[in-house]
Amino acid sequence: MVGLSRGEKIFNFANYTFMCMLIVLMIFPFWYLVMGSLSDAKLAAGGGLFLVPAGFSLDAYSAILNNSSFLTSFRTTVIVTIAGTAIGTFFSATTAYAISKTRLRGATLFSFLILFTMLFNGGMIPSYLLVKELGMMNTLWALILPNAISAFNIFVMRSFFKGIPEELEEAARIDGANDLTIFFRIVLPLSKAVLATIGLFIAVMYWNEFFSTVLYITDKDKWQLQAVLRDLISNTSQAMNSSGATMGLQRNVSEFTVRMASIVVATVPILIVYPFLQKHFAKGALIGSVKG
Amino acid sequence: MLGVCQVFITSKDRIGVEEMEQQNNLGLDASVPAVKQKSRFMKDILRDKYLYVLLLPGLLYLIIFKYLPMYGVVIAFKEYNIIMGIMESPWVGFQQFERLFRTPDFTQIFMNTLIISGLKLAVGFPAPIILALLLNELKNMPFKRITQSIVYLPHFISWVIFAGIIMAFLNPVDGLFNYIIKAFGGEPIGFLTSKEHFRSILVISDVYKEIGWGTIIYLAAMTGVSPDLYEAARMDGAGKLKQMWHVTLPSIRPVVLIMLILSLGNVLEAGFLQIYLLYNPLVYDVADVIDTYVYRRGIQEANYSLATAAGLFKSVIALILIVTANKIVKKFGQEGLW
């Protein structure tokens, strides 16, 4: 092994420096938000760099956590996320398992039908009219169903199932197990990794979903978290007042600090699952993108 | 990447085994020559009945939630009447499209879509490749892992939150950028209401959010490059930059091409949610794209047929683009998407 040449040393130094700058650039917005949200409203007025909080106050957080529409939407989003993730993960798996068997008559056709939904779609208006004609407007179903199963997730799972050694399934078949038993007793337990990956992907998607509310929900009690958040961000004072939560003159909050605090509160759940997500997602993103 | 390829190879081997089994079955069937084809088909269906049971819910779902809306695009050729519904509304041929193309704004909107997508593609497509090349050169593994975790993170933050962050930074009153401008004695700028800055904000924020996530696939492809190639290049006196250009990049070309096909298919998307969350009437001239137009005409003004026509126009172009790109890539002997 030859030692590093001068050129390589310079390259490495520049590269590590660049990466450090990139890290700072990526972390700074979140740091800024947390520090801004912890600031005293009066001291924060007019902005600042917020490397540390200007003064210290948790009032913005207590204002949000006492805001009824924020809490209702938080609950709605938890329900939608859990239901959607369960439905989406389970039925993606069943579909993927069936088409992963090349012996299945029509497997190629079914795969193509699924692939085609990635290439072409009806678009916003027909999907909207469909939900309307199904009578799902203003129900949680409208938030759960239209996004539950995606072709991409099915293909990721199909690739994974194809990698499970056939011998395991054959052995069970000789013992008299049918395809259902094999799927539930053998394949699913072996597929925890891919189920976790896809489940987390779907959960994050539901947690971040915003536009379904805009399209399908007019009843404010059923708004998703992101929609309420949007309201808080773009329209702070009005949103706080209309929700019935008295922001109160005695409290030390401003639109600025409340806006930041609400962003932080909505991001925390993602940050909590992030380490788990990270453990799996690279694998998931890879299997799926290799072959559609 | 290699591991994944192996999965494919083994699954193909298995097909071979299954074919042999089927031939064995054929041998048995040969004793009853009259029934042949059809009974074998039924036998296969019966043998796999539980697989069809597993397939059914997903298939029904796709038919209802993906294929019915595809059929729903027929209202682009009708005058949709909310009382008569999709089926009963009268046909009008291409009238909606004529109306759409006559709308003075539509050319502008189509151009906006192309320009915004084009800019995003020009900056956002090479950016993750370059970042992946640089990440690939980090030899300190813990540092590399930490860097990766941090640059992936913005991908998982919703656009609503991201738009909130952008607004917090660019706000003319208390935003960070204007705080800095003011600190240096400048005049505050209303970035999000300025036609001059709006598209740059779209491109920069999009690249910022997705650059890290975009590297995953390229990094994985790079782990498959043989170290011998680098050693040989080094012996020939190639520096780091030359190694990247002559060794790493050619090795990941198939992946780059596949990603390019995929992004071409999305060219007319232009990032609907991002624009919807950030734009305002002051910047419609530079920011209104097909999807935002569909939303305003369709959902807000209940002009369903016209909006569907605009949406269909977009989907058809996207389909043509992705199919053509795939064909071209295959023509050059590379592996396409399908």
With respect to residue A243, please indicate whether it lies within any of the assigned structural domains: yes
B264, B322 Cβ separation under 8 angstroms: yes
Q: Is B49 in the same domain as B144?
A: no
Q: Is B120 in the same domain as B61?
A: no
Closest by alpha carbon to B127, among B241, B207, B240? Answer: B207
DSSP readout, B272-331? HHHHHHH--GGGHHHH--HHHHHIIIIIIT--HHHHHHHHHHHHHHHHHHHHHHHHHHHH
Output A22 or B37, whichever has higher pLDDT: A22
Residue A5: its pLDDT value, please?
83
Output A187 or B17, whichever has higher pLDDT: A187
With respect to residue B88, please indicate whether it lies within any of the assigned structural domains: yes
Residue B28: its pLDDT value, please?
47
Least confident interval from A45-59, A139-153, A190-204, B168-182: A45-59
A175 forms beta bridges with none
Q: Which of residues 9-48 of A touch B (CB under 8 A)?
A: 11-12, 15-16, 18-19, 22-23, 26-27, 29, 32-33, 36, 44-48
CB neighbourhood size of B246 (10 A): 14
Say if residue A209's pLDDT is above 90. yes
Question: Do residue B174 and residue A162 have CB atoms under 8 angstroms apart?
Answer: no
For A229, phi then psi, to 5°, come to -60, -45
Helix (H, G, I), strand (E, B) or coil at B78: strand
A292, A266 Cβ separation under 8 angstroms: no
Q: Give yes or no for A196 touching B (CB within 8 A).
A: no
Question: Do residue B51 and residue A101 have CB atoms under 8 angstroms apart?
Answer: yes
Q: Is B179 in the same domain as B71?
A: no
CATH code of the domain in which A243 resides: 1.10.3720.10
- AA letter at B213: W
Residue of A121, A179, A214 with shortest CB distance to B50: A179
Q: Is B172 in the same domain as B191?
A: yes
Say if residue A12's pLDDT is above 90. yes
Last residue of a domain, one of B71, B93, B115: B93
Alpha-carbon distance A15 to B161, whole Å?
Answer: 31
With respect to residue A260, please indicate whether it lies within any of the assigned structural domains: yes
Say if residue A290's pLDDT is above 50. no
B91 forms beta bridges with B78
B278 half-sphere exposure, CB direction, 13 A CA radius? 37
Question: Do residue A23 and residue B146 have CB atoms under 8 angstroms apart?
Answer: yes
A252, A40 Cβ separation under 8 angstroms: yes
Alpha-carbon distance A40 to B220, whole Å?
Answer: 46
Residue of chain B minimizing CA distance to A91: B58
Alpha-carbon distance A260 to A60, whole Å?
Answer: 8
Closest by alpha carbon to A59, among A228, A233, A266, A245? Answer: A245
Is the ipTM beyond the 0.85 threshold? yes
Task: Find the farthest-apart pair of alpha carbons in chain B and give their distance in angstroms, rounded.
Answer: 95
Query: How many domains, chain B?
Result: 2
Q: Give yes or no for A178 touching B (CB within 8 A).
A: yes
SS (H, E, C) A119-143: HCCCCHHHHHHHHHHCCCCCCHHHH
CB neighbourhood size of A228 (10 A): 27
Question: Beta-strand (E) ranges in B223-289?
Answer: none
Question: Do residue A127 and residue B138 have CB atoms under 8 angstroms apart?
Answer: no
Summarize the confidence of residues A116-144 as an average pLDDT: 93
Alpha-carbon distance B319 to B118, whole Å?
Answer: 17
Residue B315: its pLDDT value, please?
92
With respect to residue B306, please indicate whether it lies within any of the assigned structural domains: yes
Cα angle A236, A240, A242; round to 5: 115
With respect to residue B17, please indicate whether it lies within any of the assigned structural domains: no
With respect to residue A11, please indicate whether it lies within any of the assigned structural domains: no
Q: Is B63 in the same domain as B124?
A: no
Q: Could you tell me the pLDDT band of residue A1, with boundaries at 50, 70 and 90?
A: very low
Closest by alpha carbon to B209, among A26, A33, A268? Answer: A26
With respect to residue B27, please indicate whether it lies within any of the assigned structural domains: no
Residue A237: its pLDDT value, please?
56
CATH code of the domain in which B222 resides: 1.10.3720.10
With respect to residue A1, please indicate whether it lies within any of the assigned structural domains: no
B78 forms beta bridges with B91
Q: What is the mean pLDDT of chain A?
A: 86
Domain of B48, in residue numbers:
35-93
B66 half-sphere exposure, CB direction, 13 A CA radius? 20
For A134-184, how does the pLDDT look when each residue is reduced to its tens digit (9 = 90+)?
Answer: 999 999 999 999 999 999 899 989 988 988 888 888 889 898 899 999 999
With respect to residue A15, please indicate whether it lies within any of the assigned structural domains: no
With respect to residue B337, please indicate whether it lies within any of the assigned structural domains: no
Closest by alpha carbon to B283, among B295, B271, B275? Answer: B275
- CA-derived radius of gyration, chain B: 27
Q: How many residue contacts between A and B have a Cβ separation below 8 Å?
A: 285
| Residues of chain B contacting A287 with CB distance shorter than 8 Å | 4, 7
Q: Give yes or no for B196 touching A (CB within 8 A).
A: no
With respect to residue A33, please indicate whether it lies within any of the assigned structural domains: no
| Residues of chain A contacting B65 with CB distance shorter than 8 Å | 127, 130, 145-146, 149
CA dist list (Å): B21 to A180, A271, B24, B27, B43: 21, 50, 5, 10, 14
Least confident interval from A70-74, A244-248, B205-209, B332-336: A244-248
With respect to residue B9, please indicate whether it lies within any of the assigned structural domains: no
Query: How many domains, chain A?
Result: 1
Output A68 or A149, whichever has higher pLDDT: A149
Domain of A135, in residue numbers:
58-292
Q: Is B105 in the same domain as B197?
A: yes
With respect to residue A14, please indicate whether it lies within any of the assigned structural domains: no
Output A234 or A164, whichever has higher pLDDT: A164
Residue B34: its pLDDT value, please?
52
Q: Give yes or no for B9 touching A (CB within 8 A).
A: no
Summarize the confidence of residues A28-38 as an average pLDDT: 90
Residue of B157, B265, B298 with shortest CB distance to A124: B298
Q: Could you tell me the pLDDT band of residue A247, with boundaries at 50, 70 and 90?
A: very low
Question: Do residue A207 and residue B158 have CB atoms under 8 angstroms apart?
Answer: yes
Q: Is B243 in the same domain as B121?
A: yes
Kindly give the parts of chain B with pLDDT less than 70.
1-36
Q: Tell the burial category of A4 from Cβ atoms under 10 Å away from its Cβ (0-12, 13-18, 19+).
A: exposed
